[in-house]
Structure 1
Amino acid sequence: MNGSYYILAGAGVAIMVLALLFSSRRSKRDRMPAAPQLNIEEVEATLQRFVLQIKQEKEAESEAFYKSNAQLKKELADAKGRLDKVERELAELRTARRQPASPDQQESSGEAADVLSMRERYRRVFELMQEGLGPDEIAKRLGAGRGEIDLILSLAKPREAGAANE
């Protein structure tokens, strides 16, 4: 990287020297009054300022690059940490899901699910019963048979009693 800046500085010096040479030859040919010529010390001072400016710009750019690189590394480490945490949580959830629940829990949850599914399936029957209607009136309103309504209500009573005891 340092070599490229010196090459650019050298090219700049060469261009300036060539420009001075061409301008001096042109002025001699045209016999016009010559522009004040720069002496070598002024050219060297200008070149030194130019090289110094290039070095300062290079240092500023490299510092910005290193800061950006450090920040990206920090963000990457944070992201890796979050990923590890999520992977651990996922593994814990998978192992918890694989472990069977105790038989008592499975049985009680199964009965509760049965009661809930029956209630959902025959929701209208239970709503009418809670309103105080008898099986005959429920059968008439729903257009179902009296035996069907009796069966639904008789099956629901033991399950509700079992669910209420737990």
Structure 2
Amino acid sequence: MTTVWLAGLTVGLLLLALWMIQVGRRTVEGNTAEEALATVMQEFDQENKELLRSITQLKRAHDIEMTGMKAELASVLEKIHMLQGQQEELIQKLANQPAHVTGQADRLMPSAQPMLYLKEDYREVPALYEEGMSPHEIARKLGIGDGEVAMVIQMLKKQGFFS
């Protein structure tokens, strides 16, 4: 905001200086330098008021947008907290199931492996890599670049998905 004011002030002073030079050269119109200066200052004051109004409107719009984003973030955090609670309940229920049901639950929810969030194009990469395919072979099979496959495998290794 300070930069805008300084820029406006600089432009105004330059305009004032140019105006004063121009007025000094004009003798036909009959305006004195004081009248010209008063006119320039009046115009400068009006432009400053308009600039201040614009800045105030922008600030209001920004504040309204930020308030909306904060409310949305609070809602998302509340939903995350609720889902985490539900996840804990489900894990607890699964832990209390008999052995034959627990084996099925382990297949449905592998707890030893980290959660995997991959783009649709990369979803098959982990399974193909575990089958022993090279990154080049995986890239050819899925129709994506070698570098993309190498990056996904490296990311999964860092996350502990592969040993």
Give the TM-score taking structure 2 as reference length: 0.49
Question: Which one has more relative contact order, counting CA pairs under 8 Å at least 6 apart?
Answer: 1
More helix by share: 1
Give the TM-score taking structure 1 as reference length: 0.48
- Answer with 1 or 2: which has the greater Rg: 1
